[in-house]
Amino acid sequence: MFTDGFVISSPITSDNLSVFLIHGDEQTPDTSFLTLDEALRHKLLIVHETGSVGELAVENLSSSVEVFIQAGDIVKGGLQDRVLAYDVIVPPKSGRVPVGAYCVESARWNKRGGEDAVSFMRSSDRAHSGLRQAFLSKSQSEVWNRVEQAQDRLSARLGKDVRSAYSETSFQLTLEDKDLEKRTKQYVDSLIDIVKAEATAVGCAVAINGKVMSAEVYSSRSLFARLWPKMLKANAVEAVSESDKKEFVAASIDDIHKYLNDAQGERATEQRVPPRVQVLVRETPRTVCEETRDEGRGGQWIHRSWVANDSEGEGDRSHPRHARGARY
């Protein structure tokens, strides 16, 4: 069972958002990945614009440190904002490595303000689980639909249009809306320190309005702790968008066990992601579980991610989930 060897703690709740920390032994205690935003901040990684909607290129400039890029990471800039489609491990001095992406800004295909049109210099946000569900369809139009739906829901919850005048279709600029940031900050302030206080936590599961939405488990506690702020903000955004429900039955630890083990025993679809990642995908009508393995570490799993399946999604449900985007 996926939960064998792990202990799930009682939920810590802020309003309609509940976090269940997952505790266990580290599988790669000596791993020293940089996260995408850390690598960009220290100018050790370049995310290159390629001119193709569905593909970017990443380049690790470090001579010694690996970079872990997580599915759902949003990069801002280029010819349009993108969300990265799958986990990638970028080795030192990598040269340009292709990585699948989806557009989360449908109207722009040019330089925006003072940003760089040939590269992306910032990744401070991650797509929430509702948007990541759209990856399963391998359809760019479905991702755009989900962005529009998310903007509509957030606008309704905040009583104002959260679309930016600089680019109405940019999900990243929506996430930077001051009123939305104020609302999400309430969740973040109450939950940000829970990981720091739990030395054995290697991941978490998240429920919103009592429904289990997503879960993440990592082979390294340090990696989980450093990714936590971005993950928490994404979950807070989703909690704001779903905050119209006043009454619900709280999720239980038993619910989390069932959710995490739902795909156990399902046949995995395998996909190799250059230069050295293998992704195993197991899907049921309820959940999609993705396991990222590092061929550079003998096939050791690095990250397991679950999202609630959305049976209403359309398009090709086969994997790999990314498709080459059309050139604009």
Give the orientation angle of helix 221-241 with respect to helix 140-158, to 10 degrees: 60
Determine, yes or no, domain membership for 143: yes
Mean pLDDT of 125-142: 92
pLDDT classification of 35: cutoffs 50, 70, 90: very high
What does the pLDDT look like over 249-267, one tens digit per residue?
Answer: 999 999 999 999 999 999 9
Mean pLDDT of 145-161: 97
> What pLDDT, on the 0 to 100 scale, is given for residue 312?
44
Mean pLDDT of 258-279: 94
Mean pLDDT of 301-314: 79
Please tell me the pTM assigned to this model: 0.92
Q: Residue 318: is its pLDDT beyond 70?
A: no
Mean pLDDT of 4-26: 97
Mean pLDDT of 160-178: 97
> What pLDDT, on the 0 to 100 scale, is given for residue 314?
38
Mean pLDDT of 140-159: 97
Determine, yes or no, domain membership for 315: no
Determine, yes or no, domain membership for 314: no
> What pLDDT, on the 0 to 100 scale, is given for residue 270?
94
Mean pLDDT of 71-90: 97
What does the pLDDT look like over 108-128, one tens digit per residue?
Answer: 999 999 999 999 989 999 999
> What pLDDT, on the 0 to 100 scale, is given for residue 321?
35
Supply φ then ψ for residue 253, to 5 degrees.
-60, -35
pLDDT classification of 315: cutoffs 50, 70, 90: very low
Determine, yes or no, domain membership for 1: no
Compute the distance between CA of residue 163 and CA of residue 183 in angstroms, rounded to an integer: 16
Mean pLDDT of 119-144: 93
pLDDT classification of 137: cutoffs 50, 70, 90: confident
Q: Residue 316: is its pLDDT beyond 50?
A: no
Mean pLDDT of 32-61: 97
The pLDDT > 90 percentage for the chain reads 88
Q: Which residues pair with 306 in a beta bridge?
A: 215, 289
Q: Residue 327: is its pLDDT beyond 90?
A: no
pLDDT classification of 313: cutoffs 50, 70, 90: very low
Compute the distance between CA of residue 281 and CA of residue 266 in angstroms, rounded to an integer: 9
End-to-end CA distance of the chain: 45
* Beta carbons of 84 and 54 less than 8 angstroms apart: no
Give the count of domains, the chain.
1
* Beta carbons of 76 and 171 less than 8 angstroms apart: no
Q: Residue 9: is its pLDDT beyond 50?
A: yes
Determine, yes or no, domain membership for 53: yes
Determine, yes or no, domain membership for 171: yes
Mean pLDDT of 266-274: 93
What does the pLDDT look like over 234-253, one tens digit per residue?
Answer: 999 999 999 988 889 999 99
> What is the rounded average pLDDT for all residues in the chain?
92
Q: Which residues pair with 69 in a beta bridge?
A: 88
- Please identify which residue in the block is written with the tokens 């359809």: 139
Q: Which domain holds residue 234?
A: 7-308
Determine, yes or no, domain membership for 253: yes
Q: Residue 322: is its pLDDT beyond 60?
A: no
* Beta carbons of 7 and 14 less than 8 angstroms apart: no
What letter represents residue 174's amino acid? T
Mean pLDDT of 193-206: 95
Determine, yes or no, domain membership for 317: no
